[in-house]
A and B are shown apart, each in its own frame.
Chain A
Amino acid sequence: MRFAFTEQQTQFRDAVRQVLDKECTPDDLRDAFNAPVARSRRWATLAEMGVAGLTVPEAHGGLGLRLLDLAPLLEEAGRAALPEPLIETTALAAPLLAAFPSDRVTGWLEAMAGGQITAAVAPIDGRSWMAAPTLGGSVVAAADGADLFILATAPDPDGRRSELHALPVADVTVTPVASLDPTRRLGTVGWEPSPTTLIASGDEAQSTLADLANRAAVATAAELLGLADRMITMAATYAKDRNQFGKPIGGFQAVKHLLAGAQVKLEFARPAVYAAAWSLGDPELAGSPQGARSASLAKAYASDAATEAARVSLQVHGAIGYTWECDLHLYLKRAWALAESWGSAADHRRRILSSLVHEVRPTQG
C-alpha cells in the first residue's frame, strides 16, 4: 500500500496554486461575477500548463493522465474558486469522449487540450439520484458559453434506455438561467438527438453514465475540499486580526471551537476524496459497488465539510462577512452550489446505505 501523492503530482499542484494565486484573485473573481465567460485568458494559461487537457490522450495533444492526477489540481481550482469549467471539460467530457474515438471526437479532444473549447455535461439518468446534475432536472452547469455539449436522452416509458450524444453549440439552444453564483453559467439546453450526434447506446451508454456520475461526484468533491480550506483560512486570518474585548476574537474558545470543528471535517474528507479518485482509476474497482460507495463517501464528506466551513466562516466574520464588499461570499456561493450538485450529501448517504444493505441482503436495497 502506498496512500500518498507522488512528488510529481505534488509539484504540479504547487505550480497550479502559484498560477491561480496570481491569476484568480478575488478581484478577478469579481470580474468573472460581472461578466462570466467560459474561456478566459486564465483558461489559456491552464491549457498551456497542460491542466485543461490533462485527461486528453497524448496522441491528441493532452497529457494522458487520470482523475487521480487531476484531483489535487481540482482542489486548487476550488481554493481559488476558479470560474472556468475544469470539472465539466477536463474531469468529465475529455475522458468520456476519449473512450469513443471518431474523427469528430478527435477534433474536439485536440481543441480541449489547446484550450479552444469547453464543455457542458448533462446526463439524464432516470433511474436515480443523479437525474439532476444541478438545480433542476433540466438546468445545466457551465452551459452558457460552452462550445460542446454531452447530453443524454431520457429513458422511454416502454423501456428504451438512455443514449449518449455529443453536440456542438451550433446544434443546441441554450437559455441562460440565473444563479446566485453567476460564474456557474447555468442554462437549459434545447436539442434533438440524431444518429450523427450519437456516441453510445445500450449497455455501453449505461456504464458510461454510471462512471460519469461517480467521476462527477469525486471531481466536485475535490473542488469542495479546496473551497472549504479557503473559507476556513480566511476566517482564521480574520479571527487573528479582529479585536473585541481587548483581544483577538480567535482567542475565545467559542470561536476556536467553531473553526476547529470545520477543520476536523475537512481533514477527514481529504483522504476520502483521494481514495475515491484512486478507486475510479482502478480497473477492478471503477465499475464496482465498492467504487461507487467510495465516490459517494467522497462527495458526502466533502459536501458536508464545505457546508460547515461556509457556515462557520460566515459566523466568524460576523456582519462584515455578510457584505458584498467582503470577498467571502465569492467562495460561499460556489460551495453552496457544488455541495448540492451531482448528488447532495443526503443523496450519497442514501446511495451508500442501499448499496451496503444490498450486499448484506441481496433482495433489499
Chain B
Amino acid sequence: MTSPDEGPMDLRFTPDQEAFRAEARAWLSAHAPAAGSLPSLDTPDGFEAHRAWEQTMSADRWSVVSWPEEYGGRGVGILEWLIFEEEYWRIQAPTRVSQNGIFLLAPTMFEFGTDEQKARFLPPMASGEEIWCQGWSEPDAGSDLAGIRSRAERAPGDDGWLLTGQKTWASRGAYAEWCFGLFRTDPEAERHRGLTYFLLATDSPGVTVRPVPQIDGEPGFAEIFFEDVFVPDSQVLGDVGQGWSVAMATAGSERGLSLRSPARYTEAASRLVSLYAEHLDRVPNRAARSADAVAQAWMDAEAYRLNTYWTACRVLAGGTVGPEASANKIHWSETDLAIYRAALGLLGPEAELTGVGGAAGNPWLDGFLFALAGPIYAGTNEIQRNVVAERLLGLPRG
C-alpha cells in the first residue's frame, strides 16, 4: 500500500483498497439483513436482533475492521475503515448497537488500557456479546461536563471503589451490559481534576437502570443510579484522578473521525436526490421550492466526505485532529438535519405520516427525529462553537 506521505495528490483508491472494498461489498451483500428489516434497536427484540447481527459480522471479522487481529479485527488503516463504512451504508445495513463501545470506548482503551483490560473487554465488545453505554452526563452536568458530582470512594477492603450518584441520557442504557463513565474520586480537586474513568457492569449490586423514552416513544436512553456500587481497581481506565484527560485524549485523534463516518450522509443524500427526482413528476411546484435545499444537503454531505479523507490523510502523515473535531461535529450534525429537513419539505403534507406509500414506516421522518439529537449530544454545537473560537481562532476563554 502506498504510504500517504509520499507522492503527489491522488484521490483514487489503490488497487489494494479497491480489493478490500470488493471483499467488504461481497460479504455484506451476502450477509446483511435487508434494509430496515430489523425491529428498532430501542426495543428488547430489536436490541437482540441487532446484537445477533454484530455476532454475524464478528464471526467473519467484519465488526471492527480497524482493530488489531488479536482483538477480532483485520488491522486495516483508517482509509480502509472509511471504505468499509461506505459499503456498510451503501447497502443500508443495520445501525451499530455496539457503537458506544467500538467507536467511543475502544480508542480510549487502546491508548490507556492495560493488557489485561484489553484482553478482557475488547473481544466481547467486538462480538456484541457485551454492549456498552456511556455514563457522562448527569442531571447537573451536561454541557458543563466538568461539573460531575457522582463520586467514588475507596472501598473498605482497599481493593476498589464504591460509586454513588446518578448518570443520565445514557444511550443504549436501557439494555447495555456495561457502562463507562467519569466519577469524582477527589472531592477537593478543582472541576476537571479529581475525576476518574471507570468501567462497570450494569448488573452490579447497587445499580438501578431506569429507561427514558425518547421523542419517538422508545427507550433509547436511560438514567442510571448508583448506590455504593463496588468496582474493583482492575476496572479503572488510566490513572486515578486523570479521568478528564483520559476521556478527552482520544476525542481529538481518530475518535474525532470515527463517531460519524461520512458514508451515512452521502448515502442519505443520494437517496434524497432520488426522492427529489420522483417529486419532480408528482409535485413539480413543491420540488422546485425544495431544489436549493436538496442541492445544499447533497453538497454538505459531499464536503463532509472530502473533509474526512483530507483529515484522515493528515492523521496518517502524523498530524492530529485537535479542535477541528469540534468543527467536524458541527458540520455533520447540521448536515444530517439539512438532509432530512429537505426530505420532509419534499414530502410536504405527507411528512407527518408514520407510514408512507403503504409501507409501515417513514424512514425520512425517523431520520429527521434521529438527526434532531445531533446538535445536542456529544457536546452541544454551542459548546463546539466555543471550542472552535477559543482553540482555532485564539479568542479568550470565559
- A residues adjacent to B (C-beta < 8 A): 1-6, 68, 232, 236, 239-240, 247-248, 250-251, 253, 255-257, 259-261, 263-264, 267-272, 274-275, 278-279, 297, 300-301, 346, 349-350, 352-353, 356-357, 360-361, 364
Roughly how many angstroms separate A301 CA and B307 CA in the complex, as a whole number? 12
A268 and B307 contact, Cβ closer than 8 Å, known pairs A4-B9, A259-B389, A361-B277: yes
Q: Which residues on B sit within 8 Å (CB–CB) of A264?
A: 327, 330-331, 385, 388
Q: List 28 A-B contacts (CB under 8 A).
A: A1-B313, A2-B2, A2-B8, A2-B9, A3-B306, A4-B313, A6-B8, A240-B395, A251-B397, A251-B398, A253-B386, A259-B395, A261-B385, A263-B392, A264-B327, A268-B303, A268-B304, A268-B327, A271-B306, A272-B303, A278-B10, A297-B303, A349-B291, A349-B292, A350-B295, A356-B298, A360-B274, A361-B280
A236–B6 Cα distance when bound, in Å, is 35
Shortest distance from the beta carbon of B348 to any chain A beta carbon, whole Å: 18
B395 engages A4 (CB within 8 Å): no
Determine whether the beta carbon of B389 is less than 8 Å from that of A257.
yes
A301 to B331 CA separation, bound complex (whole angstroms): 13
CB distance from B53 to the nearest CB of A (A): 29
Residue of B nearest to A365 (CB): B277
Q: Closest Cβ of chain A: how far from B210's Cβ, in Å?
A: 34
Give the number of chain B interface residues (Cβ < 8 Å): 56
Chain B residue numbers with a CB within 8 Å of A5 are: 9
Q: What is the CA–CA distance of A278 and B10 in the complex, to the nearest angstrom? A: 7
Across the interface, B313 reaches (CB within 8 A) one of A3, A232, A268, namely A3
Q: Could you tell me the distance between the alpha carbons of A297 and B296 in the complex, rounded to whole angstroms?
A: 9
> B interface vs A, CB < 8 Å?
2, 4-14, 17, 79, 270, 273-274, 276-277, 280, 291-292, 294-296, 298-299, 302-304, 306-307, 309-310, 312-314, 317, 324, 327, 330-331, 382, 384-386, 388-390, 392-398
Residues of B within 8 A of A250 (CB): 389, 395-396
Query: Is there an interface contact between A2 and B389, defined as CB atoms closer than 8 Å?
Result: no
B385 touches A2 (CB 8 A): no
**B10: which A residues are within 8 A, CB to CB?**
1-2, 278
Instruction: Report the minimal beta-carbon distance from A170 to chain B, rounded to whole angstroms.
Output: 41
**Across the interface, which residues of B come within 8 angstroms of A260, CB to CB?**
330, 384-386, 388-389, 392-393
Partner among A247, A253, A272 whose Cβ is within 8 Å of the Cβ of B302: A272
Cβ contact within 8 Å between A297 and B302 = yes
A218 to B4: give the CA distance in the assembly, Å.
Answer: 25
Query: Beyond A256-B385, A349-B292: 13 further Cβ-contacts under 8 Å?
Result: A1-B13, A2-B9, A236-B394, A257-B386, A259-B389, A260-B389, A271-B309, A274-B310, A297-B302, A301-B299, A349-B295, A350-B291, A352-B298
Least Cβ distance of A305 to chain B in Å? 10
In the A-B complex, the 9 residue pairs with the closest CB atoms: A256-B389, A250-B395, A349-B295, A271-B310, A260-B385, A260-B388, A353-B295, A271-B306, A251-B396
Q: Is A278 within 8 A of B327, CB to CB? A: no
Please, how many angstroms separate the alpha-carbon atoms of A261 and B277 in the complex? 32
B274 near A257 (CB under 8 angstroms)? no
B311 to A: closest C-beta gap in Å: 8
The answer to whether A353 and B392 have CB atoms under 8 Å apart is no
Complex CA gap A253/B302 in Å reads 30
CB within 8 Å for A257 and B382 given contacts A250-B396, A346-B292: yes
B242 vs chain A, min Cβ distance (A): 29
Decide: B385 and A353 in contact? CB cutoff 8 A.
no
In the complex, chain B residues whose CB is within 8 Å of the CB of A279: 11
Q: With A297-B303, A356-B273 in contact, do A3 and B309 touch (Cβ < 8 Å)?
A: yes
**Distance A294 CA – B393 CA, assembled complex (angstroms):** 29
Measured CB to CB, the closest approach of chain A to B88, in angstroms, equals 18
The answer to whether A236 and B17 touch (CB under 8 A), given A257-B389, A349-B292, A352-B299, is no
A2 engages B7 (CB within 8 Å): yes
